[in-house]
Chain A
Amino acid sequence: MNDETDTERHRVSVAVWDVPSPTRASQFEIHVGVKCAGGCNLGGQQIEIRDAAGTALCHAVLGSTPRPGTEALYETKLRLLAPDELDVFPRTVHFIGGGYGV
């Protein structure tokens, strides 16, 4: 579910946690954190969750301060809908950015 992209020469990397193990649920929450290699403030930047076909499923905005205990990991919480069928459904996190000039 992790991804990387270049944003004005600074690379960003992603961490995803609190991903539940397989469970019967209609929806679930995950946490996503994004770190800029240059230590830039990513507060307010957007991320996007996509399915295997690349279709955007939802968006979220990173929080304004780094996660405690990290150098500069900006995080957000997302609620995702679980598909009805029993299978493995890959999802990817994409950093969209937007407006803060990282």
Chain B
Amino acid sequence: MTNKKPKSGISRREFVKKGVAAGIGTSALTAMAQSTQEESSSQQSWDLTADVVIAGAGVSGLSAAIEALDNGASVIIVEENYDCGGHGLVSGGRVNLGGGTTRQRAHGIEDSADAVFEYWIRPQNLEARYTDRDLTRVYADRSAETFEWMVANGVQFQDEVNGPDSRNGRTVQWPVYEELVTSYPTRLGSGLVRALEKSARAKGVQILLLHKMTGLVQDPDSKRVLGLEALNENNELRIRGTKGVILATGGHTSDVNFRRMFDPRLTEEYQVAGEPYSKQTADGETAAMELGAALWGTASQTVEAGNWISKTAHIGCQWGYSSLWWQPDSPIFDKVRASGLSNVNWQNVILVKQTGRRFHDEMDGGHDFFAACMSYSGDPNKKNGGGPIWAIFDSDALARQAWNPNPPSVDPDGYFFSADTIAELAGKIDNPYQTLAMSGEVLEQTVARYNSFVDAGVDEDFGKRNPRYKIQMPPFYAAWSTPILHDSLCGLRVDTRCRVLDMQGEAITGLYTCGESMGGFAQHGLGRCALFGRVAEKDAATSA
């Protein structure tokens, strides 16, 4: 990657054209024109130059950008998506920041940085048990300050507050309907993202949408990271970051090979919350590891706690993460295809593997359940991963739940099926991740046995408490109910300045990371993303 010439030349005029297409304003174009084609001290050619270049315009990247701009630095962000925000834009907007904020004080809650630190290093807290306490201390010390900083940059919080667990409630959904990706009122992350985006743009950030980072550029002699390469359609750009490059690419969960480093069970059938709006592609991690970066805090990714995997809350659709309930008014609903059937009473269904066999108590939603889901699928050609999980129910259940078995509630293109008989239903199940044909005979036996448990009042196989409803009234239904992945809880090794470290613990000069691409501080929500984004920039902006 070092000393690599641009794969395809791009003139300033061509770039300006692309820039307009990507939605860059006039003032930004002027700034770019002044900075293109700079020759770096190492005699490399660059298409663009800024003090700080950031990969990813999510919560971490936007926070880093604002901090840099406030410190007088120029900033370019490359973002592979067509819009800003990453997972943050479709998140629940949970922000764990406390330590004595004005909001906490207004509610009479005593909190401090020390209390935050003590809370997040408790060994009883499985989500925090394996975190790096040096990073936890940074989080504790900058928590309250970052909350105030977010408010100063336009983020609105609901008027609720918690104490030493450092949870300052949820943000308020952005009120401009056209700027939302999903309108369901729990998508509060949009409030945070749009506020940060507007603040960053007002302060002069250059955001290059539809520009995917493809690699880092490192000085062959000093090994300092000089910039990055990005691809826009077929045009590759080299962008210099004179003070540093910040990787804020949002984690790795969408990359099947990457996530399987931590857990070989996590094969391709497990979908990711936040998709199809944005993906956690591991771009930042992969590029940094090519330069020798280490991973950190990997135990956090596999500890049986936290939100890295969830039971589906909406069944019969591809993406059924709990609080991300896609609605037909979403501008990307053509990709989402279905909202799913919600408020599932698991007494109304049985869950079966692709073989048609039950495997666990449907009422459970903990890690024993997930382990059972990911247990051997029954396919000798697919020993890892558990294969699809299907919720099987009948028309009586449909009526009890007041569900609509038609689009857009369900996705008949592989994620929801109906049939007049159980045997026919099994034969209809056809999904890209279904590696075995489900036997109608097996599914009939499964249903008959479960119905006998309902008669007896005892689930002899898996201990489902008081199994209540038989599955017998036609028509019958099969709805995708495979657990869904979420948080990246480990990533690149960093020091307390968010400098990326190599296997020897030495900093890779000029390279920083934050948010879900950063290892060592596992936490659900957006607070850590904003906080460590600011830390990363602070060091980059003050470095030579």
- Seen from chain A, the residues whose Cβ lies within 8 Å of a Cβ on chain B are 1-2, 4, 13-19, 21-22, 33, 35, 37, 67, 69-73
Query: Does residue B448 face the partner (Cβ distance < 8 Å to A)?
Result: yes
A52 to chain B, nearest CB (A): 14
Docked-complex contact B474 and A1, CB < 8 angstroms: no
Bound complex: CA A22 to CA B94 (Å): 50
Q: Which single member of A14, A18, A21, A69 contacts B421 (CB below 8 Å)?
A: A14
Besides A2-B423, A19-B451, 20 more A-B contacts (Cβ < 8 Å) are: A1-B448, A2-B421, A13-B422, A13-B440, A14-B423, A15-B421, A15-B422, A15-B474, A17-B473, A33-B474, A35-B420, A35-B421, A37-B424, A69-B395, A69-B474, A70-B475, A71-B419, A73-B420, A73-B421, A73-B475
Which B residues lie within 8 Å of A4 (CB)?
423, 440-441
Knowing A2-B444, A2-B448, A69-B395, the reply to whether A17 touches B474 (Cβ < 8 A) is: yes
Bound complex: CA A4 to CA B444 (Å): 11
Which A residues lie within 8 Å of B476 (CB)?
15
Query: Does residue B286 face the partner (Cβ distance < 8 Å to A)?
Result: no
Which A residues lie within 8 Å of B420 (CB)?
13, 15, 33, 35, 67, 70-73
Docked-complex contact A13 and B421, CB < 8 angstroms: yes
Knowing A71-B420, A73-B421, the reply to whether A15 touches B441 (Cβ < 8 A) is: no
Query: Does residue B472 face the partner (Cβ distance < 8 Å to A)?
Result: yes
B500 to chain A, nearest CB (A): 58
B109 to chain A, nearest CB (A): 54
21 interchain pairs, CB-CB under 8 A? A2-B421, A4-B441, A13-B424, A15-B422, A16-B472, A18-B472, A19-B451, A19-B472, A21-B455, A33-B421, A35-B421, A35-B424, A37-B424, A37-B427, A69-B474, A69-B475, A70-B420, A70-B474, A70-B475, A71-B419, A72-B420
Query: Does residue B16 face the partner (Cβ distance < 8 Å to A)?
Result: no
Main secondary structure on B side of the interface with A:
helix
| Residue-wise interface mask of B (418-449) relative to A, using a CB-CB cutoff of 8 A (1 in contact, 0 not) | 01111110010000000000001100100010
Query: Does residue B454 face the partner (Cβ distance < 8 Å to A)?
Result: yes
B442 to chain A, nearest CB (A): 12
Q: Which single member of B419, B427, B448, B472 contacts A17 (CB below 8 Å)?
A: B472
Which B residues lie within 8 Å of A17 (CB)?
394, 472-474
| Residue with the highest number of chain B CB atoms closer than 10 Å, among A22, A37, A70 | A70
Bound complex: CA A98 to CA B440 (Å): 25
Which A residues lie within 8 Å of B448 (CB)?
1-2
Bound complex: CA A18 to CA B472 (Å): 7
Bound complex: CA A21 to CA B451 (Å): 9
In the complex, residue of chain A having the shortest beta-carbon distance to the beta carbon of B427: A37
Bound complex: CA A18 to CA B394 (Å): 12
Which A residues lie within 8 Å of B440 (CB)?
4, 13
Docked-complex contact A21 and B454, CB < 8 angstroms: yes
Which A residues lie within 8 Å of B474 (CB)?
15, 17, 33, 67, 69-70, 73
B357 to chain A, nearest CB (A): 16
B521 to chain A, nearest CB (A): 53
Bound complex: CA A71 to CA B444 (Å): 19
Knowing A2-B444, A69-B395, the reply to whether A22 touches B455 (Cβ < 8 A) is: yes
In the complex, residue of chain A having the shortest beta-carbon distance to the beta carbon of B441: A4
| Residue with the highest number of chain B CB atoms closer than 10 Å, among A1, A17, A19 | A17
| Residue-wise interface mask of B (352-366) relative to A, using a CB-CB cutoff of 8 A (1 in contact, 0 not) | 000000000000000
Bound complex: CA A101 to CA B426 (Å): 26
